[in-house]
Structure 1
Amino acid sequence: MPRVLIVDDDQEVQSTMASLLSRQDIPHHLARDMVSTRKALQQTAYDLILLDVGLPDGNGLDLLPEIKALENSPEVIILTGRGDSEGAELAIEGGVWDYLLKPSSIKEIKLSISRALKYRQQKESARPRALDLSGVVGSSPAMHSCYDLLACAAGSDSNILITGETGVGKELMARTIHANSSRSGHPFIVVDCAGITDSLVESTLFGHCRGAFTGALADHTGLISQAHQGTLFLDELGDLPLAIQKSLLRVLQERKFRPVGSSREQKSDFRLMAATNRDLETMVSEGTFRNDLYFRIKTMHMHLPPLRDRVQDIRPLAMHFVDELCARSGIASKGLGADFLETLEAYHWPGNVRELCNVIEQALVACAGETNLYSMHLPKEIRIKVTRSRLERNTPAGSRQDSSIKTENASHTSLSELFDFKSYKQECEKKYLQCLLQKYPGNVPAMLRLSGLSRSHFYTLLKKYDLDS
């Protein structure tokens, strides 16, 4: 039987929902605040949560990331009397099943619950086979959602766009999807869009015939043809010349292409994956990337989180790289000192997983014949940055100026100047956005990275406070 958790501080609502579920013989439990909800989720695996937004100790929407990080996470139906477009957007971005306003009719609520549980049952029966995650390391909540999407992508033949900062492992994720797909026995062809010149892009992708241009001494098979029945992976898609994007769009639509210098079209049955660290939405608005190609490629979208947002994965990644590099060098594996791991976890990792692997290799070289790795073996620049960061955190607030928050013209609002908590919160939000706009003028991607806001939520707040990005 499905299990349902009712989260609401209104006893009348709790009683109504409990009665509705009891009449359908659906087991259920009650929670009235954030604390009791977290406790219930630790003790029991639920299939569905009826979640209120306005809880006594916080906003129910703040629980969504924790709920979605759970293994086999439950479906969520928001049932709130504080409905607003911004909250609905956040809820849908958080993966909720439905967003209902109080008072909703019993019939509407019952129908939503029935559909959610039916969807849950179908999803359970269609659960994909176990994935081969060889080489992919990470069990943080941020990675769990990626694994769920990986499973969906492996069972599909749709185009997929993988985004994320440099060094997060976009190609590794693409290879893992390919290895778990029905095309795993066929080629995985990589196209480095940033590494080929504009004049050779067409020849590289489509191939060419002998004599098609100076230096074409023989027929050449293009990468699209080589990817037949397999996967074509376009790395650094944002660097693809605008002139080639139109030709690529036609290939994606018809799976046909013409080699340079040939009058005959050829066919290739391939699955397309693409990756980029650039903001394609901004490039589309600037006219440097085709809108139709962007939506054609983005049938599925996976965003890989930066390493600084999944600190829990640094330790297992470090152990994985140490074992792998030691085995490759034919030396005994090294132990990892506590200070070594603490330093790794305290570092910001602008180069992400790729930088971590490189730093581990440098530490192994510095370690030489010693049996354990210590912080002393890490590059000096990393140790210096970590030490500075610790010193800044331990310095009393009154003895330094926080340049990221305080600005010359920022005024400080006292509680006495405000009428209630909501007004004070709004004033703080507005001040934060003003500081953000001043620190990164016109650089929306940087503001999104620092604030952690989604693009839609960011623009909603700017509109709310009449600010211009």
Structure 2
Amino acid sequence: MTHQTALIVDDEPDIRDLLEITLTRMGITTYTAPDLTTARALLEQHKPQLCLTDMNLPDGNGIDLVHWIQQHTPCTPVAVITAYGNMDTAIESLKAGAFDFVSKPVELPRLRELVNSALKLSEPKIQDSAEADEPGLLLGESPQIRKLRNQTRKLARSQAPVFISGESGSGKELVARMIHMQGPRADGPFIAVNCGAIPSELMESEFFGHKKGSFTGAVENKEGLFRSANGGTLFLDEVADLPLAMQVKLLRAIQEKAVRPVGDTKEVPVDIRVLSATHKNLPELVQEGSFRQDLFYRINVIELAVPPLRERAEDISLLADHILQRIAREYECAPAKLTPGAIERLQGYDFPGNVRELENILERAFTLCDEDFIDAADLHLGGGAIPGTPVSERSSDTGTSEAPAPVPEGEIDLEGFLENIERQAIEKALEATRWNKTAAAKRLGISFRALRYRLKKLGME
């Protein structure tokens, strides 16, 4: 194991001693400095794996030191010690490039967590990922995607809250996963939650957990998303959909690094990094009053914009090949290739739904084309019949002359109802052809690959 070193910068001898004793007990060799001048000299001489600095120093402030470290020893994570409740200073230090912050009076368990996280940044796997332009989850060779990969690597080395903006389907969750995977929390959980998918009456319990018996239906203790993400990353997708009442509670949980489960009187500390995203215009919602300015200020310490697919058309061929390989593996079929005409058609398309839409287009084309090549016409981007129409909705001759299944009265599960009709039509075609899939596909008026896809999707294999 590498010998670990840290620099403590504070003009108060008592605080220097407290921090030095704490870090020495953790097996870390410490150097101390009472001012910026001494700190800079020690940083250049020893290149420590962590720097802890107070904000107010005789010859400047902690943010000056953060800026200096960013320029001269950027591999040294620096954490700033701020006055209690001074969130403005904490956020300013994170924006300047600080790894994290800790408030006075310094809580030693919190300090140890911070130190352990910072020291993980000097581990070989994190150092390696910081130097190589590995695509990871973010595929592409365009300047935009290379820049995005570079930004995620830098942000992975910080604990600052990141707000990821971008259109629907552009890959915001992938960016969040990359930040998590390349940082010191990679071994901890990554919990993604769609804020718009949780009913407002269940939101507090979902986020913070609850105690057994705290309300009707609370038959056992529940941990909640914040505690599930402890030691890792919580990704709040579609954060703009949070109701105002929940925004207040979320802000408190983020600032206090603690949650209070529903029905409990005590707060439980949590060690998480918060990443958030939305496809909506959050500054506009702040202006309208539907999103709290203080919460926006807290989660938007650093903004990361994900480019839409139409702005990186040169990546489409690579992305499409990757998607088609994955689809082929999932449905145990031979992979299909795009013809030059199909690639050209995709590169000229606007993609309002971005990468998610590209996946849907290719999945439909893969299941409906007869050959191992997908041509421009197979993409169905120019109107006409809706591609991917279920077998039950097609007018092709299935060899039966039965009337369509009657629609049940009252509320129905349309997906389930259509899948049931589809399952029946496929079963009849297979029985009529003695389970010869090629003949059954012909009878149903679809390709053999489309039948394989549907059998797998419907669990009929």
- Same fold (TM > 0.5): yes
- The residue correspondences of 1:253-402 to structure 2 (distance < 5 A) are 253-368=255-370, 370-379=371-380, 381=382
User: 5 Å matches for 1:222-233?
Assistant: 222-233=224-235
Partners of 2:335 and 2:281 in 1: CA distance:
40
Q: Deviations over 1:345-402 (max 9, x none)?
A: 111100000000110001101114x121111211254689xxxxxxxxxxxxxxxxxx
Aligned residue for 2:212, secondary structure, equals coil
- How many residues were matched structurally? 268
Say if 1:132 and 1:179, in contact at 8 Å, map to a contact too: no
Which residues of 2 match residues 419-434 of structure 1 at below 5 A? none
Given that 1:245 and 1:290 are in contact with CA atoms closer than 8 Å, whether structure 2 keeps it comes out as yes
Q: Cα 1:201–1:376, aligned 2, differ >3 Å: closer, same or farther?
A: same
Paired with 1:238 and 1:270, the residues of 2 have a C-alpha distance of: 20
Counterpart of 1:174 in structure 2 is 176
TM-superposed CA distance for 1:132, in Å, is: 5.0
1:332 positional shift: 1.8
| Shift in alpha-carbon separation, 1:175–1:382, aligned structure 2, 3 A | farther
Determine the structure 1 residue equivalent to 2:139. 137
Q: Distance in 2 between matches of 1:268 and 1:169?
A: 27
| Contact in 2 for aligned 1:322/1:360 (Cα 8 Å) | yes
Change beyond 3 A, Cα 1:373–1:182: same
d(CA) in 1 for partners of 2:216, 2:319: 48
Distance 1:133 1:382, change over 3 A: farther
Q: TM-score, normalised by structure 1?
A: 0.54
Could you tell me which residue of structure 1 aligns to residue 148 of structure 2? 146
1:206/1:257 contact within 8 Å kept: yes
Structure 2 residue identity aligned to 1:373 = I
Which protein shows a greater Rg? 2
Quote the offset at 1:145 in angstroms: 2.0
**Contact 1:168 1:354 (8 Å CA) reproduced:** yes
CA RMSD, aligned part only? 2.4
Deviation at 1:159, TM superposition (A): 0.7
Q: Is the contact made by 2:133 and 2:150 (CA closer than 8 Å) also made in structure 1? A: no
Report the CA distance between 1:276 and its aligned residue.
0.4
* Cα drift, residue 314 of structure 1: 1.1
Is 1:249–2:213 an aligned residue pair?
no
Percent of pairs with identical residues: 39
Distance 2:72 2:335 in 1: 46
The CA distance in 2 between the partners of 1:280 and 1:195, in whole Å, is 18
Which amino acid in the other structure matches residue 196 of structure 2?
A
Q: Which amino acid aligns with 2:374?
A: L
Aligned-partner residue type, residue 274 of structure 1: S
Q: TM-score, normalised by structure 2?
A: 0.55
Choose which of 187, 190, 195 in structure 1 pairs with 2:189.
187
Give the unaligned 5+ runs of structure 1.
1-115, 385-469
1:236–1:274 contact (8 Å) kept in structure 2: yes
Task: For residues 266-307 of structure 1, give each alpha carbon's deviation from its aligned partner in whole angstroms, at most 9, with x where no partner exists.
Answer: 011001000100111011111111111111111111000111
Change (3 A) 1:123 1:210: closer
Are the structure 2 counterparts of residues 346 and 264 from structure 1 closer, same or farther at C-alpha, using a change threshold of 3 Å? same
Aligned to 1:7: none
